[in-house]
Amino acid sequence: MAERVYETLHQLETEALQELDAITDEKTLDEWRVRYLGRKGKATLAVRRLKELPPEERPAYGKAVNALKERLLAALEAKQEALKAQALAAELQVEAFDPTLPGRQPSLGRYHPSNLVLREIIDIFRQMGFQVLFSPEVETDDYNFGLLNIPPGHPARDMWDTFYTTREGVLLRTHTSPGQIWAMRQFAPEPIRVILPGKCYRYEQVTARSEMMFHQVEGLAVGKHITFADLKGTVVNFIRQLFGPERQLRFRCSHFPFTEPSVEVDMDCILCQGKGCRVCKYTGWLEIMGAGMVHPVVLRNGGYDPEEVTGFAFGMGPERIAMLRYGIDDIRYFFSNDIRFLQQFG
């Protein structure tokens, strides 16, 4: 009697393990679990055959059934692990994943060439005691022209044609010179030494040499006894720090309504050392900035007394400087966002 009961238990185990062995997917595996180990599973129900045994043999049989269930459970878990490992192996096969490959480099941003040069310019002037100010890109006609001694109808306005907004008298600034007025009005009657970097806009045909948007750096010093010699010293010091101590400069007479006298500053060509080449158009000289002594009318508009103080001002284009510095022959590269261009700097 007892033998037969144990025999059935043994058969049950053999059968269960054989079936388990043949299973290759999780769904069938789960069905197997329900069939043997579920609440009404064959192994679970096997305990009922206790009744067929004499009372003293029942505890031993109960233990045997529990041991069987534990073995089946262990076999089930082992099978689950095996299936998982198989699935992973299959997936790896398909994706050909190589865990030894190096990770992808995150792409890092870098400074735009205009910004690189702006930073150099700012560093040099800061070291000479200039503070850095910013003034609006959207300006009034007054700040861009009138207060700079360029009244309506003045022919100089043609040189600085710009974009007008739909609001009367509001425009995009054509130069950073209106920043002179902002700076003076902020600090008058105190002496000042400031530079004002920023974007400017012009209504112009876009060519290799001119963009409709570009940067300028304005410089302004106002105080007692400031002379043209101070302007020269400052500019010479600046250019030699930026382009090297051997640079030669020349100050050529020019005209700006907001400075008097006015000059254009040229530097000997860094490419041909002044001998003449394509870049300097065979003159040996490169134009670097406009400058001059601040016009008395402009000083007064800024809140200073031109009988008491004098000042100098200059304005330059960092893109032009970057073009010379890096040998770039077309200004349109700066703002066309071509990553192949931008990646070469910084």
CB of 316 to ligand PHE, least distance (A): 8
| Residue 195 binds to ligand PHE (criterion: CB under 6 A) | no
Q: Using CB under 6 A, which of 149, 162, 259, 310 touches ligand PHE?
A: 259
- Residue 72 binds ligand PHE (CB under 6 A): no
Which residue's C-beta sits nearest to ligand PHE?
A: 315
In this chain, which stretch among 14-22, 118-126, 275-283, 310-318 interacts with ligand PHE, using CB under 6 A? 310-318
Q: How many residues bind ligand PHE (CB under 6 A)?
A: 11
Q: Binding residue for ligand PHE (CB under 6 A) from 177, 234, 301, 310? A: 177
* Position 290 contacts ligand PHE (CB under 6 A): yes
Which parts of 14-53 interact with ligand PHE (CB under 6 A)?
Answer: none
Q: Sheet containing 285-294: give its strands across.
A: 131-132, 192-201, 213-223, 310-316, 285-294, 259-268, 249-256
* Cβ pair 207, 286 in contact under 8 A: no
Judged by CB under 6 A, the residue of 61, 130, 238, 314 near ligand PHE is 314
User: Would you count residue 315 as binding ligand PHE (CB under 6 A)?
Assistant: yes
- Determine how many CB atoms are found less than 10 A away from the CB of residue 329: 10
Q: Do residues 199 and 319 touch, judged by C-beta distance below 8 A?
A: no
Q: For strand 213-223 and strand 249-256, is the pairing parallel, antiparallel, or unpaired?
A: unpaired
Distance of alpha carbon 215 from alpha carbon 337, whole angstroms: 16
Binding status of residue 257 toward ligand PHE by CB under 6 A = no
- Told to check if 310 binds ligand PHE by CB under 6 A, we report no
Residue from 61, 243, 256, 334 in contact with ligand PHE (CB under 6 A): 256
DSSP assignments along 157-226, one per residue: GGGG---B-SSTTEEE-SSSTHHHHHHHHHHTTS-EEEEEEEEEE------SS--SEEEEEEEEEEETT-
Site of interaction with ligand PHE (CB under 6 A): 175, 177, 218, 256, 259, 290-292, 313-315
